Chains A and B, each alone.
Chain A
Amino acid sequence: MHNKNERLILNSDELRRAITRIAHEILERNKGAKDLVLVGLHTRGVPLAQRIAKTINSIEGTNLPIGKLDISLYRDDFIGRAKPIIKSTELPVPIEDQVVILVDDVLYTGRSIRAAMDALTDFGRAKSIQLAVLVDRGHREVPIRPDYIGKNIPTSRNEAVSVRLEEVDCLEGVTLAPNPGLIINERSDGKRGLED
């Protein structure tokens, strides 16, 4: 991993097993794969949705539709957190009367999921919306809870959870590191330390 203070929480095998378990739980809860649509949130929710769909397809012999959602235009904290690049939003099928499984990597304040639900509503009235996340790190600021969780990681707000996926990062694993916003640099005096 990238630095000494970063702790490995899930390695690639554990990550794979977590995804397989989520796939099984989705099938169990929905009594099969009928009317399911998986929708990944950019960036890492998209490959996660693809992996979950692939697992479900291999179990059920289905070919689940997979969508992508960018929530930049729906954020309530647009003024403070707008990201300059808006990625593509694609829903391959009408979501009317479908069961939409939203997929994201880390669930934290819950605000992106609120925005994602607003975005989905603009596309139609789904039969239900369920939420699958790889990591739940707590600290919710809105009443949202996940339906499927890869791993619960108790964190403090000063810690950063990093999910790395082959498709995006050329690496696999979930890590926890102290203090987002503080990057560990080689200091000019040669000692390792925290700097802004």
Chain B
Amino acid sequence: MSPHAGIPSLKPLASNRFDERKHVLDLDDFTPGEIQLVLDNALAMQEVMGRSVRKVPALRGKTIVTLFHEPSTRTRASFEQAGKILSADVINISDSASSAKKGESLYNTALSIQAMQADIIVVRHPHSGSTNFLARHLNSSIINAGDGYHAHPSQALLDLYTIQSHFGDIKNRKVVIVGDILYSRVARSNLWGLTKMGARVTLCAPPTLMPPDFINGFSKDHPFKSVSVTHNLSEAIKDADVVMALRLQAERQSKGRLPSLREYSRLYGINREILSLANKKVIVMHPGPMNENVEINTEIAHGPHSVIQEQVKNGVAVRMALLYAVAAANRGGK
């Protein structure tokens, strides 16, 4: 994606301070304190969601546009509900119904949305880096709702929130991320979030689905230096507190990297047998949508260790906290 000619000079991206949080593009520029603040505020938002009147006026008069260039059920609905509980006006634009169908570029679409005075634009796009590109060139706040296989920060935050709500803390918890890591933006954002919060992370995938620069582990000066990497699931899952199964991203050609789905499921699918090697109180997470009986067995997905529905519920509270943070940072900005 090349910058257009005549675009105004680059704007600084998000800074480290909560009250200057203009964009949410990934968790790499969050401090542990800022992540904790979002998690704490999500707890307060959860309380609002439990009321009989689920509405507070915090973002009254603010406009949030969700611009989705990829299919989504959970994330889009979750941002929409979060915005509406906070009293913002939410406009949804999806690929099939937008001018993108007529060949309009992402930049021009986003410019028009900004011209309609959107305060926050929530963007999902198949190209990695597209949300960073928009953040550099627009005045509105940009929240990344998933860009290619780069990042999905709100998913990572809701995963952190779910872990914290189960164990009371994140530090030193053993988290195993299993599956299609190569094409997973969820795994990448979770790597940032989990390592910043002090979790012990193990990545487990067949070598063909592990990013080439991850396969040999991380060097001592790498931000992910504490992360271990393996292709052996029964070894990885030992004593795990959290097992995070990833969706096999069939639309991103991951199928072509495997001999067969059956073999993948046999070696890397989460089933009762493999789960018995984990900590007794293990929780099983999945960002959705699931390929049941591929990366996770139906029995596990809907079993007692599964927190998958909780993740969806927590997603709304976490996204409320994110929208609140970004709106608070925008005060007097324009």
Contact = CB atoms under 8 A, between A and B. Distances in A.
Interface string A81-96: 0101111111000000
A74 B53 CA distance: 14
Q: How large is the interface on B (under 10, 10 to 19, 20 to 34, 35 or more residues)?
A: 20 to 34
A90 B47 CA distance: 8
B278 to A, nearest CB: 33
Q: How large is the interface on A (under 10, 10 to 19, 20 to 34, 35 or more residues)?
A: 20 to 34
Interface stretch (B3-11, B152-160, B303-311, B325-333): B325-333
Given A70-B44, A84-B18, A89-B47, A122 B328 contact: no
Contacts, number: 56
Interface string B85-112: 0100000000000000000000000000
Contacts of B55: 122
Main secondary structure of the interface of B (DSSP, over half): helix
Contact of A84 (B19, B57, B86): B19
B331 A82 contact: yes
30 contacts: A70-B44, A72-B58, A73-B48, A73-B56, A73-B57, A73-B58, A73-B86, A73-B324, A74-B56, A74-B57, A78-B327, A78-B328, A78-B331, A79-B330, A79-B331, A79-B332, A82-B327, A84-B19, A84-B37, A84-B41, A84-B325, A84-B328, A85-B40, A86-B40, A86-B44, A90-B47, A122-B51, A122-B55, A123-B51, A123-B53
Interface of A: 70, 72-75, 78-80, 82, 84-90, 118-119, 122-123
Given A74-B58, A88-B44, 14 more contacts: A72-B58, A73-B57, A78-B59, A78-B328, A78-B331, A79-B331, A82-B324, A84-B41, A85-B37, A86-B41, A86-B44, A87-B44, A88-B43, A89-B47
